[in-house]
Amino acid sequence: MKAMILEKAGTPLILRDISRPKPHMPQVLIKIEACGVCRTDLHIVDGELTEPKLPLIPGHEIVGTVVDTGAGTGDIEIGQRVGVPWLGRTCGKCRFCDADAENLCDTAEFTGYTIDGGYAEYTLADPRYCFPIPRRYASAEAAPLLCAGLIGFRSYRMAGAAQRLGLYGFGAAAHILTQIAVSQGQEIYAFTRPGDYDVQAFARRLGAVWAGDSDRLPPQRLDAAILFAPVGALVPVALQALTKGGVVVCAGIHMSDIPSFSYDLLWGERVLRSVANLTRDDGVEFFDLISRVAVKTHIETFPLAGANEALARLRDGKIQGAAVLVM
């Protein structure tokens, strides 16, 4: 099979012909149809996440068809279309797994980071951590749901019942989350890179009541804000935009350093918190929700060999919606 390989952090991926893997217990072999290109992939390739297995096949927004199974794979069937998310495996017995917080498992493994992922024609996955894909979505359209959708949804729940919700960084996750929030009667305030008027217009088309530069204050105080942009300097900016009792949720797996800020920005029972990974329950609830809410993913597709181009465009902020590799 063909795969895009990361051999050393900070270097481009290399297209290689490698042996197709064989499933063991409990694994399924998936013929990949599409794989989203996520900002987490960019953090891995650029060396900002420092513990990948190397060499590595990145990619954790995988949609494909099961073509072979190992022993002990349960009810999953050959020919079934499934999605493979970031959370690839947990121990099931640590204090976090026992407390229904498997996203914090001490020995969790992650697709496209500690396990080979989806920038390839085939991949192996543990079927216990896969999700069935709704028929309404073509595979390329579904791919961003596996991380941008799932992490966006977990962040959304952490933000609480916010009537006015600010989204800092209007990329793949924010464009999905906006559609969900608007459908539930919430007001979205979209913050983009300064001067990125095309993305601001995109946010307004999706239903945002206001869109502007990330260094501006919104016209109304926010009940909550979610930071998808990995920019620590936005934390005090978002806190300044909050009403009392509001929450800032840092949704990324990596962020630049947060600068010092005066205590009065946090005072008034404002909350600053992070989101780490996802749980399988998040996936069940999210896919149930989008079966009732019409969410459309806006994608730009690339061939497998175009993974480096997709990553470069994502790094430069030139992807509107989500980038997806199509095999």
What pLDDT score does 25 carry? 84
Domains of the chain: 2-147+278-326 (3.90.180.10), 150-274 (3.40.50.720)
What pLDDT score does 71 carry? 80
**In the chain, how long is the greatest CA-to-CA distance?**
58
What pLDDT score does 30 carry? 98
Cβ–Cβ < 8 Å for 278, 254: no
CB atoms within 10 A of CB 31: 16
What pLDDT score does 57 carry? 98
What pLDDT score does 74 carry? 78
CA distances 212 to 121, 188, 190, 202, Å, are 40, 12, 6, 11
What pLDDT score does 51 carry? 94
Q: What value, to the nearest 5°, has the Cα angle with vertex 296 and ends 290 and 297?
A: 110
What pLDDT score does 221 carry? 98
What pLDDT score does 73 carry? 78
Q: What is the pLDDT tens value at each position of the chain, 327 positions in all? A: 999 999 999 999 999 999 999 998 889 999 999 999 999 999 999 999 999 999 999 999 999 999 999 887 778 889 999 999 999 999 999 999 999 999 999 999 999 999 999 999 999 999 999 999 999 999 999 999 999 999 999 999 999 999 999 999 999 999 999 999 999 999 999 999 999 999 999 999 999 999 999 999 999 999 999 999 999 999 999 999 999 999 999 999 999 999 999 999 999 999 999 999 999 999 999 999 999 998 999 999 999 999 999 999 999 999 999 999 999
